[in-house]
């Protein structure tokens, strides 16, 4: 379906392994994504190009993952009104707290939806949930995924829950 795709951006190739769970869960849900490496600080013009052309290229949501000062999600959000899911990544001496605060503390008027540090799967799921607002089939797949998750917890309870420890 047109407009169902997610643009996934990372600030460096070193972020690739950490963002992959987002791409995987999107693919499991039948959502196409396209990945690009673009840095808010090192290739700022490319970031602007990707953000400003995203809508016309058929993307409906952008997931942006970065570590350290993590300006990428905010820089992208500054150039589009598409929803931006910020994925703060752990790297460097502060273990991702720097990236988390950078993503979460956006100035009024330019929001990003920030998931937890290295929470790439959640970033993908949140992007899918946004897309599902206009896609009943995707919405059903998300409901099914939640049921599968619930069953896994119930099975855990059946296996290790109850009794005295």
Residue 33 in contact with ligand RP5, rule: CB under 6 A? no
Structure tokens at 20: 């992959």
One of 11, 21, 73, 74 touching ligand RP5 (CB under 6 A):
11
Q: Which of 39, 80, 102, 114 binds ligand RP5 (CB under 6 A)?
A: 39
Q: How many residues belong to the site for ligand RP5 (CB under 6 A)?
A: 10
Using the rule CB under 6 A, is 68 a contact of ligand RP5? yes
Query: Using N-to-C axis directions, what is the helix angle for 120-132 and 16-28, rounded to 10°?
Result: 40
Start-to-end Cα distance in the chain = 52
Yes or no: say if 10 and 2 are a contact pair by the CB < 8 Å rule. Answer: no
In the complex, the smallest distance separating the C-beta of residue 89 from ligand RP5, rounded to whole angstroms, is 5
- DSSP 8-state assignment for residue 107: P
Ramachandran assignment for 85, one of left (phi > 0), alpha (psi -120 to 50 degrees), beta (any other):
beta
Please report whether residue 52 would count as binding ligand RP5 according to CB under 6 A: no
CB of 1 to ligand RP5, least distance (A): 31
Residues found near ligand RP5 in the complex (CB under 6 A): 11-12, 14-15, 39, 66-68, 89, 91
């Amino acid at each position: 379906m047109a407009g169902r795709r997610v643009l996934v951006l990372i600030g460096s190739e070193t972020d690739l392994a950490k963002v992959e769970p987002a791409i995987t869960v999107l693919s499991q849900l039948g959502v196409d994504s396209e990945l690009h490496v673009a840095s808010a600080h090192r290739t700022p013009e490319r970031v602007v190009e990707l953000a400003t052309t995203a809508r016309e290229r058929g993307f409906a949501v952008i997931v942006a993952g970065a570590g350290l000062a993590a300006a990428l999600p905010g820089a992208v959000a500054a150039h589009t009104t598409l929803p931006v899911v910020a994925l703060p990544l752990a790297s460097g001496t502060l273990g991702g707290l720097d990236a988390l605060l950078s993503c979460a503390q956006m100035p009024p008027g330019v929001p990003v939806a920030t998931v937890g540090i290295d929470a790439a799967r959640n970033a993908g799921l949140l992007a899918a949930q946004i897309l599902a607002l206009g896609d009943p089939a995707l919405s059903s797949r998300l409901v099914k995924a939640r049921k599968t998750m619930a069953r896994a917890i119930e099975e855990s309870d059946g296996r290790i829950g109850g009794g005295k420890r």
